[in-house]
Amino acid sequence: MSDIHDSSRREFISTSALAGGSLLLGGSMNLFAATRSAENIKSRGYAAIDTSGALVPWDFERRPVGDDDVLIDIKYASICHSDIHQMKGHWGPQKYPQVPGHEIVGVVAAIGRNVTRFKVGDRAGVGCMVDSDPSCPSYRDGEEQYCASTVFTYGYPQPSSPTGISQGGYSTNIVVNEHFVVHIPGHISFQEAAPLLCAGITTYSPLMRFNLEAGDKVGVAGIGGLGHMAVKIAVSKGAEVYAFTTSPEKVPDILAFGAKEAIVVDDLEKLAPLAGQLDYMISTIPVQFDVAAYASVVKPYGTFTQVGMPERFEVTLSAIGLAANRVNFNASLIGGMKETQEVVDYCADNRVLPKIQVIRAEQINDAWTSVVDKKARYRYVIDAATF
Amino acid sequence: MSDIHDSSRREFISTSALAGGSLLLGGSMNLFAATRSAENIKSRGYAAIDTSGALVPWDFERRPVGDDDVLIDIKYASICHSDIHQMKGHWGPQKYPQVPGHEIVGVVAAIGRNVTRFKVGDRAGVGCMVDSDPSCPSYRDGEEQYCASTVFTYGYPQPSSPTGISQGGYSTNIVVNEHFVVHIPGHISFQEAAPLLCAGITTYSPLMRFNLEAGDKVGVAGIGGLGHMAVKIAVSKGAEVYAFTTSPEKVPDILAFGAKEAIVVDDLEKLAPLAGQLDYMISTIPVQFDVAAYASVVKPYGTFTQVGMPERFEVTLSAIGLAANRVNFNASLIGGMKETQEVVDYCADNRVLPKIQVIRAEQINDAWTSVVDKKARYRYVIDAATF
């Protein structure tokens, strides 16, 4: 993919002096022209340099804006537990320095010649993906996340990147193929939109696939960044929501989010009264846990979806426990770009907003500790002006 | 349950002298009378006495025939990998001596006063369950295996048993509540009927739940006792069957069973050519394996059913791998009594028969070693006359 971009970009650059007259894009011409060079784009962010989980300020470069690319001046980026797992090497060895962050919002600062969906000044968001292969069947089906060639937002090999890997959103700007950019409507704040790009889509997508209907009894296990969005989205769709948490102090929030019941699972026995009661359950628990015990609250032949990704991505489950529960277990990974736009629009229109805490760049390391310690309430959003 | 049996039996015995005249059951009167006493029934079998996996001959007693019970003179019992797992303590600590065996066929030798579905001399079979609670919702739904109170055929607490636990079919006889006894039609041999009671129902039930249709592409992973029945049942229903084995020497058998293709998975890469091709997959693999790798051959949003039960019943799977495959994973446990009768009748009527090797009691220990070493072809059936 990147090779193709590179060659088409080079070709464009070499011919743009002649074709320049046809490239007028109204008021954006100056900015467009300013970035239409083969110059790398300077960026500044916070990067992991090892598996310690501590980030440090880092100056690096992005690729120049290609024909299909959008340059976004980042306004906010929020913190996902996945950022921590990946930087610490829980999902496999990493290349460092690496800038995490895949919940990114900002303003379009420049566009490539082929870009049609964005203009300079547009409010824009980037989630977990930044590139893929348009000929992949899943891409054509609007499920780009399942293409083998998909480049995820940070840590993936990306020859077009000066650092060799994709670099994420804990930074001042990002260059992304326009297909992987969504519009952020004017009636939602940047701060509140950021978490929708991963936490929102990751919970919205399986809930929509389940064909959630008003009155359905929906369980949500793990009430952190993803879980609290799952509760809010399910409530907004009319579901009767049962939230399972290990943090008793979250109960008032959970009820305020609209859940019918908050169950503090300090002992798996607490699940027993709901055995076989729920139509559907989504787990955002990002560590190993007793899947069959949690699945026991779902009706026989119901569905249990795992979206949290533990260390090594491994979930160990009791086959006999799962058999006894007669539950279909599946796992789900974010959602496609079309559906990502859909969730952003849906949440903006219906005021389904994450509960956030805005932090400065120098607070990131403390915030990560809080996320691991289950102290986040419920999404830390980094003000990119502080990088 | 057993307390109820005991009291009603005692009551019956105390009144039977007076009521005896009304208890005539034709030619079975003598046998009936002979066993209608509070005397325990002598049995002889092979039992595990520790976790070594070695069985020894053992004389023990069964409970007297209760009002709802059937006494079966066992003709054959076949060997299931579950027998080995449980006796070795792989699924938790066991009480010993314990007689394994839950694929049991024989002839009815006596019946209790309330028994209506069987008469002395009937051909009868017993599978994985011997008692439960008729008031349990799953019992009423014909899925007795999911009742919390179900007594499985061996090693379960059973106060009515003189040994305190249920004792299985590697023995000369068994006393079972009639609800848990199926008829063995006259047009199938005892030897070939025995494996249907577990291997047959365990694979038939999920295949039927999938609503298998002619032309469907069905995968079967693990071609042992269960797997070879899954292949044969799916083939008999018109499916195009892909069999996955780690034993290249089984390929000719697999093709003879009617499979379209036998894939020798000596490397997970061998699964790649079938990625996303199958409508459904059933795994009988009774050890830990890479679930997501095998599930990758199923179409997105298809179903993968695990029926093999590894040590500690644990299956570890890659949540991200499963997400990437978009597969519904479920586990299934045997099947209910109604469906157990159905699979026996179906296999008898359609000549869907297990490939068996009849052995003598003293060959059991060698046979177990062969099962663990994947050398069984494909079900060992013990001649109960040799106990």
B146 neighbourhood in chain A, CB within 8 Å: 300, 324, 326
Torsion, CA A357, CA A358, CA A363, CA A369, rounded to 10: 30
**CA distance between the termini of chain B:** 30
Tokens standing for A374?
A: 């289950």
Q: How far is CA B38 from CA B9, B13, B21, B329, B346, in A?
A: 8, 8, 19, 48, 38
Name the average pLDDT for chain A.
90
Q: Do B310 and A332 touch (CB under 8 A)?
A: no
Model confidence at A326: pLDDT above 60: yes
A330 neighbourhood in chain B, CB within 8 Å: 322-323, 326-329
Tokens standing for B250?
A: 């089984």
Phi, psi of B41 (to 5 degrees): -105, 130
C-beta of residue B381 within 8 angstroms of C-beta of residue B188: no
* Low-confidence winner among A241-255, B3-17, B43-57, B181-195 (lowest mean pLDDT): B3-17
Mean local confidence (pLDDT), A143-165: 96
Q: DSSP 3-state assignment of A91? A: coil
Tokens standing for B375?
A: 């050398």
- What pLDDT was estimated at residue A313? 87
Share of chain B above pLDDT 90, in %: 83
Q: Tell me what ipTM this predicted complex has.
A: 0.80
- What pLDDT was estimated at residue A37? 55
Q: Do A323 and B333 touch (CB under 8 A)?
A: yes
Q: DSSP 3-state assignment of B166? A: coil
Beta-bridge partners for B181: B126
Write the residue in B146, B324, B327 that is nearest to A324 by C-beta. B146
What domains are there in chain A, each with its CATH number? 2-198+354-386 (3.90.180.10), 199-331 (3.40.50.720)
Helix A225-236 to helix A337-350 angle (10° resolution) is 70
- What pLDDT was estimated at residue A167? 98
A313 neighbourhood in chain B, CB within 8 Å: 318-321
Counting beta carbons within 10 angstroms of the beta carbon of residue A325, is it exposed (0 to 12), middle (13 to 18) or buried (19 or more)?
A: buried
Q: Do A319 and B320 touch (CB under 8 A)?
A: no
For chain B, give the longest Cα–Cα distance.
74
Query: How is residue B154 annotated by DSSP?
Result: T
Phi, psi of A163 (to 5 degrees): -90, -5
Give the chain B residue nearest A141 (alpha carbons).
B300
**CA distance between the termini of chain A:** 30
Name the average pLDDT for chain B.
90
Q: How far is CA A113 from CA A7, A32, A49, A132, B207, in A?
A: 14, 9, 35, 19, 54
Cα separation, A33 vs A178, in Å, equals: 18
Model confidence at A29: pLDDT above 60: no
User: A66-93 burial by CB neighbour count: b if 16+ within 10 A, else e?
Assistant: bbbbbbbebbbbbbbbbbbbbbbbbbee
Per the model's pLDDT, the better-predicted residue between A185 and B316 turns out to be A185
Confidence of residue A38 (pLDDT cuts 50, 70, 90): confident
Mean local confidence (pLDDT), B74-95: 96
A300 neighbourhood in chain B, CB within 8 Å: 146
Model confidence at B2: pLDDT above 50: no
- What pLDDT was estimated at residue A273? 95
Model confidence at B32: pLDDT above 80: no
Per the model's pLDDT, the better-predicted residue between A122 and A16 turns out to be A122
B309 neighbourhood in chain A, CB within 8 Å: 319-320
Mean local confidence (pLDDT), A363-372: 97
Q: DSSP 3-state assignment of A175? A: strand
* Low-confidence winner among A21-25, A122-126, B43-47, B375-379 (lowest mean pLDDT): A21-25
Confidence of residue B23 (pLDDT cuts 50, 70, 90): very low
B315 neighbourhood in chain A, CB within 8 Å: 316-319
The helix or strand, by DSSP H or E, that contains position B54, with its residue range, turns out to be none
Confidence of residue B130 (pLDDT cuts 50, 70, 90): very high
Confidence of residue B37 (pLDDT cuts 50, 70, 90): low
Residues A199, A200, A205, CA angle at the centre, nearest 5°? 110
Dump pLDDT digits (tens) for A272-292.
999 999 999 999 998 889 999
Counting every residue, how long is chain A? 387
Beta-bridge partners for A77: A104, A382
Mean local confidence (pLDDT), A320-329: 89
Q: Do B327 and A324 touch (CB under 8 A)?
A: no
C-beta of residue B16 within 8 angstroms of C-beta of residue B36: yes
Q: What is the DSSP string of B177-193?
A: EGGGEEE--TTS-HHHH
Query: How is residue A186 annotated by DSSP?
Result: T
Write the residue in B306, B310, B324 that is nearest to A333 by C-beta. B324
Interface mutation target, options B129, B288, B328, chain A, most CBs of A under 10 Å:
B328
C-beta of residue A66 within 8 angstroms of C-beta of residue A73: no
Mean local confidence (pLDDT), A338-364: 98
Write the residue in B312, B320, B330 that is nearest to A322 by C-beta. B330
Torsion, CA A179, CA A180, CA A185, CA A186, rounded to 10: -100
Dump pLDDT digits (tens) for B335-351.
999 999 999 999 999 99
Counting every residue, how long is chain B? 387
Interface mutation target, options B330, B332, B333, B334, chain A, most CBs of A under 10 Å:
B330
Q: DSSP 3-state assignment of B265? A: coil
C-beta of residue A179 within 8 angstroms of C-beta of residue A337: yes
C-alpha distance from A180 to closest chain B C-alpha (Å) = 19
Mean local confidence (pLDDT), A202-208: 97
Alpha helices for A97-250 (secondary structure H): 137-140, 190-193, 199-209, 225-236
Model confidence at A346: pLDDT above 50: yes
Chain A residues interacting with chain B (CB cutoff of 8 angstroms) = 91, 146, 300, 303, 306, 308-310, 312-324, 326-333
Please name which of B315, B204, B143 lies closest in space to residue A300, comparing C-alpha atoms. B143
Confidence of residue A18 (pLDDT cuts 50, 70, 90): very low
Interface mutation target, options B311, B322, B325, B334, chain A, most CBs of A under 10 Å:
B322
Please name which of A14, A91, A15, A86 lies closest in space to residue A55, comparing C-alpha atoms. A86
Tokens standing for A137?
A: 């069947």
Q: Do A330 and B317 touch (CB under 8 A)?
A: no
Chain B residues interacting with chain A (CB cutoff of 8 angstroms) = 91, 146, 300, 303, 306-310, 312-324, 326-333
Counting beta carbons within 10 angstroms of the beta carbon of residue B173, is it exposed (0 to 12), middle (13 to 18) or buried (19 or more)?
A: buried
B324 neighbourhood in chain A, CB within 8 Å: 146, 333
